[in-house]
Amino acid sequence: MRRVYLDSNATTPIRPEVVTAMMPVLTEHFGNPSSIHWFGQHAKSMIDDARQHVARLINAESSEIVFTSGGTEADNFAIRGMAESQKAKGRHIITSKIEHHAVMHTCQDLEKQGYEVTWLPVSRDGAVDPDSVRRALRPGTILITIMHANNEIGTVQPIEEIGRIAEEADVYFHSDGVQSTGKIPIDVRRLKVDLYSMSSHKIHGPKGIGALFIKKGTILKPLLTGGGHERNRRSGTENVAGIVGFGHAAKMARESMATDMARVGELRDLLEAALKSRIEFIHVNGENAPRLPNTTNIMVDYAEGEGLVISLDLKGVAVSTGSACSSGSMEPSHVLTAIGKTPDEAHGSLRLSLSALTTREDVEYVIEVLPGIVERLRDLSPYYKKV
């Protein structure tokens, strides 16, 4: 069966070049980077190269990059670390209602520990208003954490403006950049973030590896203590193969982002336009806000997202409804709820996310099979017959 993968915000296929770059680490270059000998030195230098590639992707310095086990750990490290380091100063955190669970559940956990969290609402298009951040600031505010690009609807937040506000107020600013990294140009200096989370598997690298950008001079209490790896910020023998893969993926993303994403954006627009013209009663969520070029989240009235996803899968097309993690529970996605969708509307939403490896044929195949599936589901819907 033909398989089309349009779930790149959940994860992406590893680029073959990345696999090639990782192979030596999985075979002869197995050394522990902390060792003094040749084996260790070799591993160490591969990590240093990778660190440089990741740093360059976001215009950071190598020394500002700390490798973690992924985006989730980077988010936890940033938020918990800051909450701990700054608790003498205050216990108030500002975040948004559309964060990834890695941020949302971490903030909720801190609420239980006595921190106060302001959950900023978003517009119907899924954008945080920078002014609302300004208004939420108060003397005890120790951290602002607002994601750069949303994983479900792809909206890009005004990070630069929020960064300016944070700088003026002298409050630390973290942004979850897991979805934006490698898809849009990022300059942490211009964004004025102090902390920025990244994850390798969203940019064609391996899973289980990510990084946190920690601006020079920022004090952050480590989550993991031990042998003092990563300059005492994250102990544990490094996942060398993962780091090397991530580094190579970051290098490739930097080199080809401009052309890849221009092409991906065109394909996404083609997909949206074709689906809109072939299927009645569909809407694109977040359409009027700045969005990632690779993501479209469409709401299909009179059809169930679960039925759509399974039917598409049976035709070889991989997409998701809600966010990947929340599939499996019937709680409507908190992101779609935050942009004002009813639970029914949220359950009828479909996320299609493309990547640099998506082809025009992939998109055309989806355009071909989706209308028939929607029609079948609607024929069975008691609500559709009435319209």
Ligand X SMILES: Cc1ncc(COP(=O)(O)O)c(C=O)c1O
Amino acid identity at 208: G
Which of 310, 344, 385, 387 is close enough to bind another protein by CB under 8 A? 310
Listed in sequence order, the residues at least 6 apart from 251 whose beta carbon sits closer than 8 Å to its beta carbon are 53, 56, 57
| Token pair 């790149």: residue | 8
Q: Radius of gyration of the chain from Cα atoms?
A: 21
287: which DSSP letter? Answer: T
Considering only 147, 253, 271, 363, the residue that binds ligand X (CB under 6 A) is 147
Helix orientation angle between 101-112 and 71-85, rounded to the nearest 10 degrees: 30
Dist CA 189 CA 178 (whole Å): 17
Q: What share of the chain is helix, strand, coil (3-state, %, to 5)?
A: 45, 15, 40
* Interface with another protein, residue 217, by CB under 8 A: no
Residue 178 Cβ, how far from ligand X at the closest point, in Å?
4
Specify whether the CB–CB gap between 267 and 354 falls below 8 A.
Answer: yes
The CB density around residue 91, as the number of other CB atoms within 10 Å, is 18
- Choose between 27 and 329: whose C-beta lies nearer to another protein: 329
Binder of residue 258, out of ligand X, another protein, none (CB less than 5 to 8 A by kind) = none
**Are 142 and 173 in contact, with CB atoms under 8 Å apart?**
no
State which of residues 76, 199, 294, 353 lies at the interface with ligand X (CB under 6 A): 199
Instruction: State the Cα–Cα distance between residues 52 and 307, nearest whole angstrom.
Output: 44
* Site membership for ligand X, residue 95 (CB under 6 A): no
Number of other residues whose CB lies within 10 A of the CB of residue 366: 20
> Which lies closer to another protein via its Cβ, residue 273 or residue 314?
314
307 binds another protein per the rule CB under 8 A: yes
Q: What Cα–Cα distance (Å) separates residue 287 from each residue in 49, 65, 317, 377?
A: 39, 33, 23, 25
Residue 27 interacts with which of another protein, ligand X, none, CB < 5 to 8 Å by class: none
**Which CB sits closer to another protein, 168 or 379?**
379
**Secondary structure element (H or E) that encloses residue 335, with its range:** helix 334-338
> Residue 195 interacts with ligand X (CB under 6 A)?
no
Q: Which does 310 bind (CB under 5 to 8 A by kind): another protein, ligand X, none?
A: another protein
Active site residue 325: yes
CB nearer another protein, residue 101 or residue 221? 101
CB of 218 to another protein, least distance (A): 34
Smaller CB separation from another protein, 125 or 375: 375
Report d(CA 327, CA 323) in Å as an integer. 6
Given 376, 383, 385, 387, the residue binding another protein (CB under 8 A):
376
Asked if 306 is part of the footprint of another protein (rule: CB under 8 A), the reply reads yes
Q: Which of ligand X, another protein, none lies near 210, with the C-beta cut-off 5 to 8 A by kind?
A: ligand X
Torsions phi, psi for 194 (to 5 deg): -95, -30
Per DSSP (E only), the strands in the chain are 4-5, 65-68, 92-96, 116-120, 141-145, 172-176, 195-199, 210-214, 282-284, 295-300, 317-318, 349-353
Q: From the list another protein, ligand X, none, pick the one residue 332 interacts with, judged by a Cβ distance below 5 to 8 Å according to partner type.
A: none
| 284 φ, ψ (degrees, to nearest 5) | -100, 120
Residue 306 interacts with which of ligand X, another protein, none, CB < 5 to 8 Å by class: another protein
When binding is defined by CB under 8 A, the residue of 187, 313, 344, 368 that contacts another protein is 313
User: Which residue lies nearer to ligand X by CB, 292 or 303?
Assistant: 292
Using CB under 6 A as the binding rule, whether residue 176 contacts ligand X is answered as yes
Amino acid identity for residue 252 in this structure: M
Please pick, among 23, 325, 357, 367, the residue that the annotation labels catalytic.
Answer: 325
Interacting partner of 106 out of ligand X, another protein, none (Cβ under 5 to 8 A depending on kind): none
Which residues are identified as catalytic?
Answer: 325
Q: Which residues bind ligand X (CB under 6 A)?
A: 70-72, 75, 100, 102, 147, 151, 176, 178-179, 199, 201, 210
Residues near another protein (CB under 8 A) = 304, 306-307, 310-311, 313-314, 328-330, 376-377, 380
